[in-house]
Structure 1
Amino acid sequence: MSLEPKPVDASAKQAADAKASLLLRKAEGSYAFPVLDSVGNQFARSLRDLIRALGAPTVQIEREAAVQMRFTDWCQAVSPGLFWRYHAPPLKGPVLLATARPLLLQLVDIFYGGKGQLAGEREELTDAEERFAARLGRDMGQQLAAAWKMGIEPELDCVTSDPAKLAAVRGDDELLVQRFTLRGGVFEGRTILCAYPQAALRGIAGAEPVPEMRDGPAIDPAWTATLNRALKTVRVPVRSVLARPEISLVKLLSLEVGDIIPLTIPRNVPVTVAGRSFASGSIGESNGNAAILIETVEKGSDDE
């Protein structure tokens, strides 16, 4: 009996590849997670808005491409740091956030009316700073959930300055790490790191892609026709300016009843619709009424 493996049918392999999740791709012996780019972009915007709301209205955030690194190296990159761990099913492992302790102290100072200047380094956090760290962690967890858009809802279960307390992650475990760098003022160069254990990401490789990557829903022709009919009955104001005379302030102040202001009416006058330029035409008469003969229609941009 031959134990040689049977050749894989090419069409079957292509079909399997086509069904592969956008979250996970295997290439050259390593894994890539394309969806993390869009997740990172959304999370960067949310972080920016969150930090601005805390009292730093000019801060900007730059996202760097995800890199692979060991858990031990990641901890050293933010030492002395503050770590947030999230339970985030269906991930088969935690989501981790970290930042250097000075950033948290600056945020606390600004939140309570200061300018984000550090008085000095210290190892222990005050009770108020610990409460702020927990609140900040919950807020960032909500921003992460919104960025994923696929049922992953990180729930904060640990805030610590000791990476040894981040259970379920070992020193040699490989993480996929996204770095978010703050720009502007006292925060210049400060970073927040978001890490996903690669084993946890591979565990949801069969998950559906985020909604923005799915094919758009089919358009209902009946709904479209109804909308078009409704739009055609909307009434909009149409106006034309026949003349814009200018007179001196002295003459304006001396005007009396019976005085005449001379007008010079151009051959072509503008026609506006709802305040926007629509066409131009010449003044005339139609059925005994003053009228404008449309001679040219303005061409707007593609999105107008």
Structure 2
Amino acid sequence: MSAKTNPFKTPKAPTAKPATDDATASLLLRKAEDGYAFPVLDGVANQFARSLRDLIRALGAPTVQVDRGTAERMRFADWCAASAPAIFWRYHAPPLKGPVLLAGARPLILQLVDIFYGGKGQLASEREELTDAEDRFAARLGRDIGLQLAAAWDGKMVPELDCVTTDSAKLAAVRADDELLVQRFTLRGGVLDGRTIACAYPVAALRGIADVESGPDIRDEAPADAEWTATLNSALKTVRLPVRSVLARPEISLVKLLGLEVGDIIPLTIPRNVPVTVAGRHFAAGSIGEANGNAAIMIEHIERGSDDE
């Protein structure tokens, strides 16, 4: 295995140190006599926020943004109380010596189900019990979120969903006084604005994977040739990309579909704002109108991604 430069590794002191200190330094940064910070989780959280945003958009909320909050430490019991009412997901996550826990506001799940099945995400009323369809959707969403979390960890941790519940008492393997490191992700935009999903790691379990390194390898690279870079940039500016907008997605029953004949009409409901994609990625939102006698879309909002998107 080739050597890697580790930005989180503390320099060795002249005197001998326990073997565990060198392993701990790769993921943990000792702040005080009895405290730890987990700098690697900042990068994981940034990537997870982007993946979570793309997942929610794919479910039918194309304008949603996700804000990542500051991580905080709190007791498991306090976290459960602050999250309620919620859907809890528990993951077995090797090599973590303990579970990874996620909590989503219960109204968020109800809204996502409504959006997924063609609604507008409006809540008719608060309910404690979920329907069978909502239970299945919550399990599916939990599996999808687990895949996004694994990608954020770059495959160094592989969460496997093993429990979906609305009752925090069923989250076994975590005690009331166990300390968690909690990262909150807040949705912004539309009817989902202000809804949160929280990801919680038991602090003791994080200390157990101190030798897990984060991020891509850092290697010395020769500076790029200026003329070659300018030629490449000029060529890229002439590349033509497909721009697409879906005006409507009507749904009809199988009986009606099989009964369609030439001359039949399928009614369409066209929303005021429609998504605009470029090369398959969401780029903007606009309104339908007319320009110079042709149907057209006026851009009203352009998505702003991170610098690496």
Length-normalised TM-score, structure 2: 0.65
Match in the other structure for 2:182: 177
Task: Give the Cα separation in 1 of the matches to 2:236 and 2:65.
Answer: 36
Question: Displacement, 1:171?
Answer: 0.6
1:215 pairs with one of 209, 215, 218: 218
Equivalent residues in 2 for 1:220-259, closer than 5 Å: none
User: Does structure 1 residue 137 correspond to structure 2 residue 142?
Assistant: yes
Match in the other structure for 2:261: none
Question: Displacement, 1:150?
Answer: 4.6
Count of matched residue pairs: 220
**8 A Cα contact 1:70 1:171, kept in partner:** yes
Match in the other structure for 1:105: 110
CA displacement, residues 25-64 of structure 1 (integer Å, 9 cap, x when unaligned):
2221211100100000000000000000000000000001
Task: Give the Cα separation in 2 of the matches to 1:83 and 1:9.
Answer: 44
For structure 2, the 5+ residue unaligned runs are 1-11, 239-309
1:35 pairs with one of 37, 40, 65: 40
Match in the other structure for 2:94: 89
Match in the other structure for 2:81: 76
Match in the other structure for 1:251: none
- Structure-2 change in CA distance of 1:95 and 1:19 (3 Å): closer
1:164 pairs with one of 161, 169, 182: 169
Question: Displacement, 1:10?
Answer: 3.1
Match in the other structure for 1:26: 30
**8 A Cα contact 2:114 2:120, kept in partner:** yes
Equivalent residues in 2 for 1:276-291, closer than 5 Å: none
**8 A Cα contact 1:47 1:140, kept in partner:** yes
Task: Give the Cα separation in 1 of the matches to 2:236 and 2:115.
Answer: 44
3-state DSSP of counterpart to 1:10 = coil
State, as a whole percentage, how many aligned pairs show the same letter.
68
Question: Displacement, 1:9?
Answer: 6.5
**8 A Cα contact 2:24 2:207, kept in partner:** no
For the aligned residue pairs, the C-alpha RMSD in angstroms reads 2.9
Match in the other structure for 1:255: none
Question: Displacement, 1:148?
Answer: 0.6
User: Does structure 1 residue 51 correspond to structure 2 residue 56?
Assistant: yes
**8 A Cα contact 1:71 1:169, kept in partner:** yes
Question: Displacement, 1:11?
Answer: 4.6
1:10 pairs with one of 2, 14, 18: 14
Equivalent residues in 2 for 1:120-135, closer than 5 Å: 120-135=125-140
Match in the other structure for 1:249: none
CA displacement, residues 154-188 of structure 1 (integer Å, 9 cap, x when unaligned):
00000000001001001110000000000011111
**8 A Cα contact 2:77 2:177, kept in partner:** yes
Length-normalised TM-score, structure 1: 0.66
3-state DSSP of counterpart to 1:85 = strand
Question: Displacement, 1:20?
Answer: 4.3
- Structure-2 change in CA distance of 1:121 and 1:13 (3 Å): same
**8 A Cα contact 2:75 2:180, kept in partner:** yes
- Structure-2 change in CA distance of 1:161 and 1:19 (3 Å): closer
3-state DSSP of counterpart to 1:96 = strand
For structure 1, the 5+ residue unaligned runs are 1-7, 237-272, 278-304
- Structure-2 change in CA distance of 1:17 and 1:169 (3 Å): closer
The residue type paired with residue 134 of structure 2 is: E
**8 A Cα contact 1:67 1:177, kept in partner:** yes
Question: Displacement, 1:12?
Answer: 3.9
User: Does structure 1 residue 152 correspond to structure 2 residue 157?
Assistant: yes
**8 A Cα contact 2:90 2:99, kept in partner:** yes
Question: Displacement, 1:93?
Answer: 0.2
User: Does structure 1 residue 114 correspond to structure 2 residue 119?
Assistant: yes
